Amino acid sequence: MTPNLPPTLSSSQDLAALILEIREYAKWYGQYSVASRVKAKFTTEQPELSAAAVEMIRDWGKEEALSQKRLDLLLSTLEKLKNKAPVITITLAAPATNEVKKTLVTWCRSNIAPDVLVSFRFNATLLGGMVVRSGSHIYDWSFRRAILNERHRFGEMLSRV
């Protein structure tokens, strides 16, 4: 089973941070389980988890009861996903808001691949629109590109303004 990535977790860096969080939780969980089995006092508090990590662990535990083995399987699955997932980079004319990121990631995961990782950048010289890079392919839907493609008509358009 491949875990569903929440739209708030978009990039390779986000996934790497999630893996670190879950690894830390798995370490704590293992120590807590051993202490519980031998009825020893365990005073270490559960590590603080992000909403994405809580959601991921909860969803992963729905299919089968959570255990150290199950958490290790989740971690190895996430590591494999990080290494094989398709990656695209979207460059916008301004920094993307969380809502824009969430919308674009949701669209990409519905239309491209459910495990696609999306990195966001910004470049004010685009003027608007976006540039999408996937591997060696670049798709330029920026206003700047549109203006440059029609530069022979630019003077004509300005005279009408």
pLDDT tens for each residue of 61-70: 888 888 999 9
Question: What's the chain's average pLDDT?
Answer: 90
Residues 141 and 95 in one domain: yes
pLDDT at 95 over 90: yes
- Does residue 47 share a domain with residue 36? yes
User: pTM of this prediction?
Assistant: 0.81
68, 84, 100 - which closes a domain? 84
Residue 34 is predicted with a pLDDT of 87
| 51 φ, ψ (degrees, to nearest 5) | -60, -40
pLDDT confidence bin for 154, thresholds 50/70/90: low
Looking at residue 90, its pLDDT comes to 97
3-state secondary structure 41-56: CCCCCCCCCCHHHHHH
For residue 40, the model assigns a pLDDT of 84
Is pLDDT above 80 for 29?
yes
Same domain, 28 and 62: yes
Residues 57, 112, single domain; the answer is no
For residues 116 and 108, the answer to whether their CB atoms sit within 8 Å is yes
State the total domains in the chain.
2
Give the residue-averaged pLDDT of 125-140. Answer: 92
Last residue of a domain, one of 55, 84, 113: 84
Same domain? For 37 and 64 the reply is yes
